[in-house]
Every structure is written in C-alpha cells, then in structure tokens.
Amino acid sequence: MTLSTPLKVLGLAALALALAGAGVVTLLLGHTKHGTTPAPAVTPTTVHRAAPSPAKPVAPPKPAIHLVAGLPAPLHAALLRSKEVVAFVYVPTSPDDRTLLAQVKKGAHDARVGFVALNAHDEKVAEAVFSWARSSAVPATYVVRRPGNAVFELQGLTDRIAVAQAAASAR
C-alpha cells in the first residue's frame, strides 16, 4: 500500500514534533538530575537532491569545408554558408549593372541559393575574380558550387528567371 503525499507530510510532521518533545523533556529532566547538562538532541536532517539533468546529446562535429584556393574573399565566405552560390561581378557606378544586380539577387533568392555581389572596382576582388574565373567580362553572373567550381557562366544582361533556372540546375 502506498501512502499519499499529504499523509507522508503529516507523518513527518508528527515525527519531528515527537523528537522535539523528547528533546525538551530530556533537557528539563537532565537539569534536575545532578546538575549536569545532557548532550544536545540530534535531529535528523533531510538531504534534498535535485533530479539529475538528462545528458545533452553531443552533436557530431561538422566536416571541414575545403574550398578552392584563390577564390574572391566574399565568394569564399558565401560558399562556407551555402553549397551553391550565385556570384555577380558588376561595376557599381553603372546604372545598368545596378539594375541587373537586383535581378540576379532575386533569381538567387528564387532558387534558394546563396548570393554574393563582387565589385569589379575593388582591385583585390577583381584580381581574384580574373584568376579564378579566367574571364574579365563585366557584368557576369556565375553559379558556383562547392568547392568553388563555376558550373554556369552568364555574361552580359540576364534576368531573374534565367538566373533561377541556372542555379536550380546546378543542384
């Protein structure tokens, strides 16, 4: 038979009261006999232990991502976050390139792949693009898959649908 919680609490309270009463009686009777003081009554202490916390599962380490050497820094960073990336090389002072930039970005978004804009006026970026892509065409759109291989190259004007199709077929 299992006792309910209120009965257990009541039983513990009665036990504590009985022990306290015994301690008082012993203390009073001890003073009346021979004038000695009895040893203090020992009351039981209850140790409350917290329930052990469940072990947290340890996630397996992610494999290291190895990318092609010499990638433009923004493209390198984008490939660390996404397996496929649309890279758009443009000249920011060109109104046509800025309009095209918006179209290419929307196409990458539609295909649900990463996107990076590579400014051809930045000397380091331009040198890295030329050594990686072996092309100096601006504007140019590349669909890049890890480890840094261009699987599609669209030079000149393009639209969001063409970019989305190229990015989707890169999977």
pLDDT digits (tens, 9 = 90+) for 37-46: 656 667 767 7
Average pLDDT over residues 103-117: 95
**Predicted confidence band at 21 (pLDDT cuts at 50, 70, 90)?**
confident
- Which residues are CB-contacts of 119 (< 8 A; sequence separation ≥ 6)? 90, 91, 92, 125
- Is there a contact between 138 and 90 (Cβ–Cβ < 8 Å)? yes
Torsion, Cα 121 122 123 126, to 10 degrees, reads: -80
pLDDT at 171: 74
**Mind listing the pLDDT tens digit for each residue in 118-133?**
999 999 999 999 998 8
Give the residue with greater pLDDT, 47 vs 69: 69
Q: Identify which has the larger pLDDT, 80 or 20.
A: 80
User: DSSP per residue over the chain, as a string?
Assistant: ----HHHHHHHHHHHHHHHHHHHHHHHHHHHHSTTPPPPPPPPP-PPP-PPPPPPPPPPPPPPPP---TT--HHHHHHHHH-SEEEEEEE-TT-HHHHHHHHHHHHHHHHHT-EEEEEETTSHHHHHHHHHHHS---SSEEEEEETTTEEEEEEES---HHHHHHHHHHT-
